[in-house]
Amino acid sequence: MRAWLLDPNPRSRLQSRLGQAWLQALRFRRNHLAMLGLFITVTLLLAAIFAPLIAPHGPITQSLADRLQPPLTPGHLLGTDDFGRDILSRILYGSRITLYIVGLVILTAPVAGLIIGTVAGYFGGWVDAVLMRITDIFLAFPKLILALALVAVLGNGMENAVLAIALTSWPPYARVARAETLTVRNSDYIAAVRLQGAGATRIIWGHIMPMCLPSVIIRVTLDMAGIILTAAGLGFLGLGVQPPDPEWGVMISAGRKFLFEQWWVATMPGLAIFLVSLGFNLMGDGLRDVLDPKGAR
Amino acid sequence: MTPFLKQTGSTLFSLALTFLGLLIVTFIIARVVPVDPVTALLGERATAAQIAEMRARLGLDDPIWRQFGIYLWDVAHFDLGTSIRSREPVLSEVARYFPATLELSTLATIFGVLFGVPAGVLGATRPGSIFDQFTRLFGLIGYSMPVFWLGLIGLLVFYGQLGWVGGPGRLDSAYQMAFEFNVTPVTNMILIDTALAGEWEMFANAISHIILPAGILAWLSMAYISRMTRSFMMNELGQEYMTTARVKGMSEARVIWVHGLRNTMVPLITVIALSYAYLLEGAVLTETIFAWPGLGRYITDALLIGDMPAVLGGTIVVGCVYIGLNMVSDILYRLADPRAR
């Protein structure tokens, strides 16, 4: 198997691609911090998938007799909040909301950025000027404040928070995609495809976008932590996900009232946010070192 | 016309366009917002005649392009509308809140540069050393930290448990009254105002209040600055002029801290300006935690009660500062690097 993967004369495109991926995986595995990041991310995924199986209680099951129990109370590993809800269970269920928000944003913003950037880069001229000017305008806005203003317009709630975050995070992807497009636009293989009669849509979709993907993907992994932090920030301010949904930012904001007496209510969900965004950052750093040796420090 | 002036001119032109775009976006947001400005001003029980009169007075019956023209005219005359909550002009309110944000983020940027630049340079000269790995990890943790949570933990530990720093707000409540009586607000920045008035005890109290939020923001800014300094410095260390300087017999410290850092400074200006701009906005959450009467808190408070003129006015001001900082860094960049002129 290894010999087949590392064969210097691959017999098919698939074999050579798998071989490349194998080498990159090996390089990734040597980076201990990146592996830690991967571990945290996988744990998050598993927690989200199996939340109903591993959570000892329901996420919104109230039990006023057990309110504000400290951590390590039997049955409540991380303690309970002011409604007697189990904090560990809420964190586990909250991972679903976090993943859902991150997933929706990374399915929309990079795609929009990719399309805008490649179109601008491929056509050039006034199309480029107009699209890049719009991108600059969005970049000139402070991100969190624009997201706040958008949520104010759209109303509170998870979907609107996702929309606001997506609307504020596409410009960097457009920039990256345009830069990549400019480097391949005038290459011979594009000219060859064009001479064969391919239209602009086909060239951009089939021959330019794949070239932009690696740098966009690296950017996405590095951005995921930022998305989590913004979503939690919106929840914390009361503008994103609404209680009683167990979103981590909302939980911190609820625990703020009794920070000095019952510290665990606000501390535990924050720890979850921190660990998950650290995991994404570590993994993103490792991926960049592997996929983009130029950017490696 | 010198090339420098010409380039500055084109920078100014593109900034003007960006600013126009900022106004278009805020205008659109203001027009689609579900909060009806007429109801917000008159209350639910206004008569039809009152509503019609208010609509006419606010110009809501005009065609949309005319409304936008009036909006531009107002903004050009520094009129950002009237806050629904306080019935005061938004601009004068913003002017009162902004210095607190400025003070906080300036202090944080100063700390960030003071620690971040040396850390980045030392990391670049000894890549892989314990120090280098520690700085990288420290920075990475800063990147990953939800700033509002960090603020709460900071309050819990350093204020609640240890009592080393002052709590939320800019002064202890005991000093608050004395401040209003004895200190004339010159800059509205508390450290400067108390120092000018010679109230040193109050000054010390203000320091104990600002140190924690500023320290937390400084961590974020240091994480970014040290990382960028390190990668810029790595680039310079491989250059041939470094070898030349060493061959001439120059001391290693001079090679790195004078020759290397000087060339690193050029891209670093942009990085510092960017992190400064980012702190101005990142202060939103920190200000909420620390009850800091700054612009971020002004905007979020206004948002929660649906005071849209205040939200949009604040957004425009933050956007302007952002654009302005970008322009300054652009010009400084060209002044510092003769090749870019």
The C-alpha atoms of residue B123 and residue B233 are separated, in whole angstroms, by 9
| Residue B239 reports pLDDT greater than 70 | yes
Average pLDDT of chain B is 82
| Nearest chain B residue to A256, by CA | B152
Question: CB of A290 within 8 A of CB of A27?
Answer: yes
Measured CA to CA, the distance from residue B257 to residue B265 in angstroms comes to 11
Interchain CB distance below 8 Å, B22 and A141: yes
pLDDT, residue A277, reads: 92
- Taking each helix axis from N to C end, the angle separating A13-30 and A264-291, rounded to the nearest 10 degrees, works out to 130
User: Quick one: B24 and B141 in the same domain?
Assistant: no
How far is residue B156 from each of residues B159, B208, B307, measured CA to CA in Å? 6, 15, 32
Confidence of residue B308 (pLDDT cuts 50, 70, 90): confident
CATH number for position B312 = 1.10.3720.10
Q: Which residues of A touch B285 (CB under 8 A)?
A: 144, 233, 236-237
CA distance A2 to chain B (A): 31
Shortest CA distance from A296: residue in chain B: B231
Q: Pick from B53, B77, B101: which residue ends a domain?
A: B77
| Cβ-based neighbour number of residue A241 at 10 Å | 26
| Chains A, B: CB pairs < 8 Å | 138
Nearest CA-CA distance, residue B135 and chain A, Å = 14
Here the CATH number for the domain that contains residue A229 is 1.10.3720.10
Which range among A205-214, A230-239, B166-175, B313-322 shows the weakest confidence by mean pLDDT? B166-175
State the average pLDDT over residues B139-161: 88
- A26 falls within a domain: no
Statement to judge: residues B60 and B200 lie in one domain: no
- What pLDDT score does A112 carry? 93
Quote the percentage of chain B above a pLDDT of 70: 91
pTM for the model stands at: 0.85
Residue pLDDT, tens place only, B92-108:
888 888 888 888 999 99
Examine the domain organization and report whether B137 and B279 are in the same domain: yes
Q: Does residue B258 share a domain with residue B159?
A: yes
Asked if B17 and A285 come within 8 Å (Cβ–Cβ), the reply is: no
Shortest Cα distance, chain A CAs vs residue B322, angstroms: 7
Query: What's the burial of A186, exposed, middle or buried (CB within 10 Å: 0-12/13-18/19+)?
Result: exposed
Kindly report the number of other CB atoms within 10 A of residue A155's CB atom.
11
Closest to B169 in 3D by CA, of B199, B209, B207:
B209
CB B148 within 8 A of CB B288: yes
Integer Cα distance of A98 and A222 in angstroms: 16
Task: Report the number of secondary-structure helices (H) and strands (E) in chain B.
Answer: 15, 0
Residues of A in contact with B21 (CB under 8 A): 133-134, 136-137, 140
Same domain, residue pair B171 and B307: yes
Round to the nearest angstrom and report the end-to-end CA distance of chain B: 13
- B116 and B260 co-located in one domain: yes
Q: Tell me, yes or no, whether A20 lies in a domain.
A: no
pLDDT surpassing 70 at residue B157? yes
pLDDT at residue number A215: 82
Same domain, B111 and B15: no
Say what the pLDDT of residue B34 is.
58
**DSSP element (H, E) containing A96:** helix A87-123
Q: Which member of A137, A263, A282 has the closest CB to residue B18?
A: A137
Examine residue B86 and state whether it is found in any structural domain, yes or no: no
Residues of chain B contacting residue A297, judged by C-beta atoms under 8 Å apart = 230-231, 234
Interface predicted TM-score (ipTM) of this complex, two decimals: 0.82
| Nearest-by-Cβ selection for B315 from A149, A270, A282 | A149
In a domain, A172, yes or no: yes
| pLDDT at res. A42 | 92
Alpha-carbon gap: B253 to the closest alpha carbon of chain A (Å): 23
Average pLDDT over residues B259-269: 83
Structure letter (DSSP) for residue A295: G
Residues B156, B271, single domain; the answer is yes
B112 and B14 together in one domain: no
Domain count, chain A: 1
Range scoring the smallest mean pLDDT among A231-245, B42-56, B160-174, B227-241:
B42-56
Nearest Cα to A121, choosing from A210, A182, A190, A199?
A182
Burial of B339 from C-beta contacts in 10 A (0-12 / 13-18 / 19+)? exposed
Q: How many domains does chain B have?
A: 3
Residues B280 and B170 occupy one common structural domain: yes
Range of the domain at B213: 91-340
Cβ-proximal residues to B301 (8 Å cutoff; 6+ apart), any chain: none
Instruction: Tell me if the bond preceding B3 is cis, omega within 30° of 0.
Output: no
Same domain, yes or no, for B64 and B141? no
Range of the domain at A246: 31-58+73-291
All residue ranges of chain A with pLDDT < 50 are 295-297
Collapsing DSSP states into helix, strand and coil, what is residue A49? helix
Query: Looking at the domain assignment, is residue B85 inside a domain?
Result: no
pLDDT number for residue B107 = 92
Confidence of residue B340 (pLDDT cuts 50, 70, 90): low
Burial of B312 (0-12, 13-18, 19+ CB in 10 A): buried
- Of residues B37 and B336, the one with the higher pLDDT is B336
**Residue A148: closest CA among B179, B55, B167, B308:** B308
8 A C-beta contact, residue B122 and residue B257: no
